[in-house]
Amino acid sequence: MSSAATPTLASLVRDLASGGTTSRKLVEDCLARIADPKGEGARAFVSVDADGARKAADAQDMLRKAGAAPSPLAGIPFAIKDLADIVGQVTTAGSTALAARAAAKADAPVVARLRAAGLVIVGRANMVEFAYGGIGTNPHYGMPASPWDRANRHVPGGSSSGSAVAVADGMAHGALGTDTGGSCRIPAAYCGVVGLKPTARRVPTDHVVPLSTSLDSIGPIARTVDCCALLDSVFAGEPIAAAEPVSMKGLRLLVPTNIVLDGMDAAVAADFEKALAALAKAGAMIVKQAFKPFDQIRPILNKGGLSAAESYAWHKDLFASKRNQYDPRVAMRIAMGEGQTAADYIELLQKRGAAMAAYAEGLSDFDAILSPTCPILPPKEGDLVRDEDYARLNMLSLRNTLMINIFDGCSIALPMSAVGAPPTSLMVSCAPMADRRMLGIAKAAEGAMGVR
């Protein structure tokens, strides 16, 4: 999409309030983009509810005309990742193994909050099967390509692949994602948009197919930090508000020198240094030093870590009857949980607790941690043919983001690169429950970098 065709939520709110557009017009434009045979709509969505979206849009237009719009965001088209329940629809979590499930009898709480605010659901976004992967491929529904260099079909990032592509391509103006190890932030990084991983406890995960009950969080994918802040308010059941401005002057920002800077592609390294220079010029104090809590992560990933243990617990019975329908690369990781003992699991929880305490203590002298969201550019789909290449690139994609989930922190990914350039992304991470402060810091960083 051109920059002229990528409105922010704030600009859409103004246009709707002034009568410059209608919800029906916004929905029709999104549906047209989804249906465009030259676009990625057929791969970005597993299902589209065109009739339902039109009816909801017309209802929101009538309410706004009567002065009764339920929120400023009412009428804006939105996509829901295919693991959250939507009343009357089957939640398949990107898998054919759940195709015979009964339709949901109620919305997931986070979906109900979006609907209560008047957002219009246009469809269910594609995803990595059962959310288990950071690359974005899906053998059942296809892979929507990253907007960058699309002719060469680079991966969109996972697991919220369809959500990020839908937002980047104007098929929706915001999307629900989930983030267990980076699944909002990685697709945002690879698609040139913004992805938020909130502190997990702030947004209810009920009636959302789990990957890891310890690590799952639900966050928005949108075009700017403020767009994510507005949606975060809705997700968390708080008053709708943009990010509170934070001055860069005097902020102490930590750039860890261990792990997160290893193996960076040249474009990522160059853009990261430019970003740091821009933030320093704006008055931030950039401190480069090792961050010891990062060194506690690897043992917590042994035998597949908490994700393998907790996903196997959920999948055990389905696995027994329908494993042959699973993506083999997903099934292999779920199966690792079968080999864990109760003692292994308890030990993982203890190690995680120690790492969370170390993270909180390590952050006490800093306002935020800065790192590249992903150390690499999005690989080409053709680079993933061999399982060993998939495993390596998947782990590289996830490496920096997954640590924040284990620490129970909050984190946001925002573009460091200009539109059309190879997509690189800055990750800003903070302590648990510092979400709104983090959004303010990220908004200031977005302005200081000035790339979008």
Q: pLDDT, tens digit, for every residue of 158-204?
A: 999 999 999 999 999 999 999 999 999 999 999 999 999 999 999 99
Q: Using the predicted structure, report yes or no on whether residue 151 has a pLDDT greater than 60.
A: yes
Q: Using the predicted structure, report yes or no on whether residue 122 has a pLDDT greater than 90.
A: yes
Q: Using the predicted structure, report yes or no on whether residue 3 has a pLDDT greater than 60.
A: no
**Mean pLDDT for the chain overall:** 97
Q: Using the predicted structure, report yes or no on whether residue 4 has a pLDDT greater than 50.
A: no
CA 343 from centroid of its chain's CA atoms? 32
Q: Model pTM?
A: 0.98
Residue 402's pLDDT is what? 98
Residue 6 pLDDT class (50, 70, 90 cuts): confident
Question: Which whole number is the average pLDDT over 411-434?
Answer: 97
Q: pLDDT, tens digit, for every residue of 426-436?
A: 999 999 999 99
Angle, helices 305-322 vs 342-362, to 10°: value is 140
E strand or H helix that includes residue 121: strand 120-125
Catalytic residues, by residue number, are: 81, 159, 183
CATH of domain 3-235: 3.90.1300.10
Q: Using the predicted structure, report yes or no on whether residue 266 has a pLDDT greater than 90.
A: yes
Burial class (CB in 10 A: 0-12, 13-18, 19+), 328: exposed
Determine the Cα–Cα distance for residues 173 and 21; give it in Å rounded to an integer: 14
Q: pLDDT, tens digit, for every residue of 89-119?
A: 999 999 999 999 999 999 999 999 999 999 9
Q: pLDDT, tens digit, for every residue of 316-366?
A: 999 999 999 999 999 999 999 999 999 999 999 999 999 999 999 999 999
Determine the Cα–Cα distance for residues 409 and 432; give it in Å rounded to an integer: 4
Angle, helices 50-65 vs 23-35, to 10°: value is 160
Residue 1's pLDDT is what? 43
Q: Do domains 3-235 and 252-449 have the same CATH topology?
A: yes
Cβ 226 vs Cβ 13: under 8 Å? no
Residue 5's pLDDT is what? 56
Question: Which whole number is the average pLDDT over 420-427?
Answer: 97
- Residue 429 phi, psi (nearest 5): -130, 145
Q: pLDDT, tens digit, for every residue of 25-67?
A: 999 999 999 999 999 999 999 999 999 999 999 999 999 999 9
DSSP string, 72-94: TTTT-EEEEETTB--TTS---TT
Cβ 400 vs Cβ 375: under 8 Å? yes
Q: Using the predicted structure, report yes or no on whether residue 229 has a pLDDT greater than 90.
A: yes
Fold that domain 252-449 belongs to in CATH: Amidase signature (AS) enzymes (3.90.1300)
Domain ranges of the chain: 3-235, 252-449
Determine the Cα–Cα distance for residues 264 and 307; give it in Å rounded to an integer: 26
The neighbouring-strand residues paired with 77 are 120
Residue 78 pLDDT class (50, 70, 90 cuts): very high
Radius of gyration of the chain (CA): 20
